[in-house]
Structure 1
Amino acid sequence: MAGRIDDLQWSADGMRIVASGDGKGKSLVRAFMWDSGSNVGEFDGHSRRVLSCAFKPTRPFRIVTCGEDFLVNFYEGPPFKFKLSSREHSNFVNCVRYSPDGSKFITVSSDKKGVIYDGKTCEKLGELSSEDVHKGSIYAVSWSPDGKEVLTVSADKSAKVWEISDSGNGTLKTTLTCPGSSGGVDDMLVGCLWQNDHIVTVSLGGTISIFSASDLDKSPFQFSGHMKNISSLSVLRGSSDYILSGSYDGLICKWMMGRGFCGKLQRKQNSQIKCFAAHEEEIITSGFDNTISRISYQDGQCTNEESIGVGNQPNDLSLAPLSPGLLLVAFESGVVFLRGEKVVSTINLGFTVTALAVTPDGTEAIVGGQDGKLRLYAVNGDSLTEEAVLEKHRGAISVIRYSPDLSMFASADLNREAVVWDRASREMKLKNMLYHSARINCLAWSPNSSMVATGSLDTCVIVYEVDKPASTRMTIKGAHLGGVYGLGFADDTHVVSSGEDACIRVWSLTPQ
């Protein structure tokens, strides 16, 4: 197809697929054999994007399509050929679905109507009751397993269950509402599925609600996640290990190891997140507005949030948890010192700063530059004293991390190279880490300091063992479509990654 695919359906025998979407000419709909890709029909009759399609699950096979031209088209086959069009709707027809026995199909539309047809002939049988109609566009529909009820979801933020009579008319059985709705556009329901005893709805904001079909009064189980690039994550250890992740749009989510989504953190202001750090009872973020947000975090919730203007656009930040309130923020030409909610000094270093890291006790800092050099500084009060300059990288430094035992540190650059350094001798401990094909965005150490992982724009995560040559690496190919932007170790054998695809994945490592 020449454009986006909006819907696809399998035939009941698992041999054919019909897909619909946007395209040119006759390429708005295609039906083909799954194994060979050969076409099994010609689909004339639509002039605009086709939003949905349905395959009749019983013989004789039929295909129904609907779309932005307000038409419902009916095809007989295989090979499938146009039979007739129905013009019962006065707006976009958003979804079509066959009943499990193939005797009926239903279409729903932005005109707030649902129309039921005979599955074999496309003759109109009836409609959903106009008395209890949705107050907004109906976006999706799904049949119950016994074919006697349907589920609809709408822009009015509600889901409705309808009883379908043998004659084809629908009467309202109940209206389902999702708890915790803010009333905003994100709460509009745009997708649904009735699978066995589970009724599933999906909102525009990405919240999935699962109701019990046998007990519709019971509150649904809900879970959600990120909708945008997850730019960073932090693995926090305590009585139970969990992950905090921040996405570009300002959303922070909590995830429990072994369980998954555990809730969204409600912030006072959902500003965009560029840099992110977390430690036990504090979360620190920076966006694109020259401010740092220090967020108090207790019992799984944000309790207080303070915004501090730093006068420059932050490039990176590093927290010293053992030095009360100390936070170093890198900006284009230097470093800002924060203690608590106060900026105590701004130091211009005379070169372009791209990354930094500070030891947990706040006594040493490493600053990476656009020139590829690593500069080591002693932290004296609120000032920096340069102690050494390390040269190995051939590109701008993108990330620096100390090992948990503080005996080493690792750095990576935009020229796809990473280096592990011995902190005492300041010599390279592991080099030739040149196995990415694009810039390195993130880096993480294992808790026992024996492994270091790098994540790159090339979609891969590479794990190196510090005491072995770089050539013995473990590579996770295609970890995240669009690039890897966040990395952490859950423990010594599990890596957590996040990326452009708005997903978080946990990987189990099996050393070579």
Structure 2
Amino acid sequence: MPHELCKVFASLPLVERGVSKVLGGDPKGINFLYTNQKSVIIRNIDNPEIADIYTEHAHHVQVAQYAPSGYYIASGDISGKIRIWDTTQKEHLLKYEYQPFAGTIKDICWSGDSQKVAIVGQGKQIFVNCVRYSPDGTKFASAGTDGQIFIYDGKDGSQICALGGDRAHSGGVYAVSWSPENSMHLLSASGDKTVKLWDIEANSAVTTFNMGSDGMDQQLGCLWQKNHLLSVSLSGYINYLDKANPNKPLRVLKGHSKSIQSLTVRTCDEKHVIYSGSHDGHINDWNAQTGENDTFAGKGHTNQVSCMVVNDSNELVTCGMDDDVRFTNMIKKEYNAEDRVKMDAQPTSVAVGPGGYTVVICIGQIVLLKDKKKVFMFENLDYDPRCAAIHPGGGTVAVGGNDSIVHLYSIQENTLQKDCVITSESLEAVLAMAYSPDGANLAVCSENKVITVFGVADGYKDGSAFYGHHAKALCISWSPDNQHFATGGMDGLIFIWTLNDRNKIFKIPDAHRLYHINCIAWLDEHTLVSSSPDACVKQWTITYN
């Protein structure tokens, strides 16, 4: 039962207010790159849905740059370590590793012959944010937080001019990028929410790209590669600028820059859509085939999106650390304040069933919603509820607790009635659980690294225990074939289990290298989706032997 990574939906750059973000360019003009946490993201500049991820740094990576030859990339992290690695092979074999100093590496510059690198450390907090030589080496430009850009002679260092006179931008300038064709044009990105294209000889901005009026529209990075002009916003979005229409980018790459905490999928008219929610409250929807993605309009969650599911009314039901449960129409893709339900305690899990029922697990509470309204609540429980699942046929709610028990409730119109409990020697504190699509089985993940599957028809007796994870399993999802289910864990492993043969298991190691797996979902019987704190979404093709 082999697996193959078929698609990677890459994270955005991890940005920080008031700090420049370096975009690296492939000298062959094919790819561009940037960093997010421990990852270096390499994307095709013509088709950015094509992406590769390098994840060999043990610490957060701050900058990565191609060698002029295009055969190597140098990347530096916050520990002061620099790694030089191969770009020609999928494995990205390590060539050299150095520790030039202790502390954050802020920038890297290669010599023209690709034999040496210059490293910039943290140093003192001065005005200069960026220094870049022109491709022919005849000039170099420096940009600073004072809004100025100075052009110098590349040989003797004498100042040639100050772009724009007193100030090139009304805000700090965080990045500059030379035209790959000549040393007469320069691109600059500023906190004043503009990007400017400069004619050096005329000392004037020939084009000013207005990126918006919101604080998140500040521009922290830029890159000029082939015919593409790119900039990075404080939101993390990557903008493809249009010289013919400076007020509207040709396209904007969206996604996540922070840890993904929740994931679900939806199929409509044979079109698969992936939904993901992150630590910062951001929700993204992805076309599973093309990787094209967007966000919902309006104001949504203001904090971590902890759980999400799809109900039978074409709504994405989400709960967050802002104490909200939201019902968002997936056709309109717009948040509606009227479809928000405020919880009395922080919600951690949500489950949906037929008939408009939603069960929300909050800290110390179980809340039943009917048609987006609270109708019943259990509190002052003698256990801590962790997660819930509603039987596909409706009527039965399973709640997993920290007491190593699964509690079963029945929905009686607008109330929940406690029925019985499920116990087993293989159960410990419950972390996740799910009913199979046909409702025949309930699979439960426990803190003891064991997955236990109970048959519904025999009254949830004599559960079958599945062993394999080296650390606790955090998420579980059933295949539409009802015969296989997948789990992801703190060990970074994804296991695919066969219901009727506990020995027929398959694992995907290092699915999101250096990160645990916190979300999985099946698009179809042979396609699994995973996500993790690396802010990336991956698709896997699964073939059964």
User: Residue type of the partner of 2:340?
Assistant: S
Could you say what the CA RMSD is over the residues aligned between the two structures, in angstroms? 3.5
Label 1:17 to 1:472 Cα distance change in 2 as closer, same or farther (>3 A). Answer: closer
- Specify the alignment match of 2:403 in structure 1: 371
Residues 206-245 of structure 1: CA distance to partner in whole angstroms, max 9, x if unpaired? 1111135688687421121122221111101112221111
| 1:405 match: secondary structure | coil
- Within a 5 Å distance, the mapping from 1:180-219 to structure 2 comes to 181-184=212-215, 186-212=216-242, 219=249
Q: What is the alpha-carbon distance in structure 2 between the residues aligned to residue 146 and residue 444 of structure 1?
A: 51
- Specify the alignment match of 1:222 in structure 2: 252
TM-fit CA distance, 1:315: 3.2
TM-fit CA distance, 1:100: 1.9
Q: TM-score, normalised by structure 2?
A: 0.77
In the alignment, does 2:511 pair up with 1:511?
no
- Specify the alignment match of 1:446 in structure 2: 479
Label 1:257 to 1:430 Cα distance change in 2 as closer, same or farther (>3 A). Answer: farther
Label 1:508 to 1:33 Cα distance change in 2 as closer, same or farther (>3 A). Answer: closer
Match of 1:162 among 170, 183, 198: 198
The percentage of counterpart residues that share the same residue type is 27
In the alignment, does 2:112 pair up with 1:57?
yes
TM-fit CA distance, 1:14: 6.0
Match of 2:180 among 141, 145, 156: 145
- Specify the alignment match of 1:81 in structure 2: none
Label 1:21 to 1:342 Cα distance change in 2 as closer, same or farther (>3 A). Answer: closer
Contact 2:259 2:534 in 1 (8 A): yes
In the alignment, does 2:128 pair up with 1:97?
no
- Specify the alignment match of 1:410 in structure 2: 443
User: Residue type of the partner of 2:228?
Assistant: H
Residues 309-334 of structure 1: CA distance to partner in whole angstroms, max 9, x if unpaired? 443333322111x21x2111223445
Contact 1:374 1:391 in 2 (8 A): no
- Specify the alignment match of 1:73 in structure 2: none
In the alignment, does 2:455 pair up with 1:422?
yes
Contact 2:404 2:423 in 1 (8 A): no
- Within a 5 Å distance, the mapping from 1:103-118 to structure 2 comes to 103-118=138-153
Q: What is the alpha-carbon distance in structure 2 between the residues aligned to residue 442 and residue 123 of structure 1?
A: 60
In the alignment, does 2:290 pair up with 1:259?
yes
Which stretch shifts more, 481-490 or 271-280? 271-280
Q: What is the alpha-carbon distance in structure 2 between the residues aligned to residue 480 and residue 236 of structure 1?
A: 26
Label 1:301 to 1:97 Cα distance change in 2 as closer, same or farther (>3 A). Answer: same
Q: What is the alpha-carbon distance in structure 2 between the residues aligned to residue 120 and residue 30 of structure 1?
A: 28
User: Residue type of the partner of 1:119?
Assistant: G
TM-fit CA distance, 1:344: 1.6
- Specify the alignment match of 2:366 in structure 1: 335
- Within a 5 Å distance, the mapping from 1:33-72 to structure 2 comes to 37=96, 51-57=106-112, 69=124
TM-fit CA distance, 1:57: 2.5
Q: What is the alpha-carbon distance in structure 1 between the residues aligned to residue 158 and residue 115 of structure 2?
A: 16
Q: Unpaired runs of 5+ in structure 2? A: 1-56, 87-93
Q: What is the alpha-carbon distance in structure 2 between the residues aligned to residue 172 and residue 119 of structure 1?
A: 22
| 1:473 match: secondary structure | strand
TM-fit CA distance, 1:283: 2.4
Residues 167-194 of structure 1: CA distance to partner in whole angstroms, max 9, x if unpaired? xx7432111123xx3511x211111111
- Specify the alignment match of 1:397 in structure 2: 430
Residue-pair matches, total: 476
TM-fit CA distance, 1:54: 2.9
Label 1:448 to 1:304 Cα distance change in 2 as closer, same or farther (>3 A). Answer: farther
In the alignment, does 2:266 pair up with 1:236?
yes
Structure number with greater CO (CA < 8 Å, separation at least 6) is 2
Label 1:467 to 1:430 Cα distance change in 2 as closer, same or farther (>3 A). Answer: farther
TM-fit CA distance, 1:20: 6.8
- Specify the alignment match of 2:378 in structure 1: 347
Q: What is the alpha-carbon distance in structure 2 between the residues aligned to residue 37 and residue 497 of structure 1?
A: 32
Residues 461-499 of structure 1: CA distance to partner in whole angstroms, max 9, x if unpaired? 222222333453232424264322221111111111111
User: Residue type of the partner of 1:52?
Assistant: D
Q: What is the alpha-carbon distance in structure 1 between the residues aligned to residue 306 and residue 422 of structure 2?
A: 28
Contact 2:427 2:452 in 1 (8 A): no
Label 1:102 to 1:31 Cα distance change in 2 as closer, same or farther (>3 A). Answer: farther
Which stretch shifts more, 385-394 or 402-411? 385-394
Label 1:345 to 1:215 Cα distance change in 2 as closer, same or farther (>3 A). Answer: closer
Q: What is the alpha-carbon distance in structure 2 between the residues aligned to residue 393 and residue 256 of structure 1?
A: 39
Q: Unpaired runs of 5+ in structure 1? A: 71-90
- Specify the alignment match of 2:388 in structure 1: 356
- Specify the alignment match of 2:325 in structure 1: 292
- Specify the alignment match of 2:171 in structure 1: 136
| 2:426 match: secondary structure | coil
User: Residue type of the partner of 1:395?
Assistant: E
Q: What is the alpha-carbon distance in structure 2 between the residues aligned to residue 234 and residue 471 of structure 1?
A: 26
TM-fit CA distance, 1:64: 8.6
User: Residue type of the partner of 2:222?
Assistant: C
Contact 1:460 1:480 in 2 (8 A): no
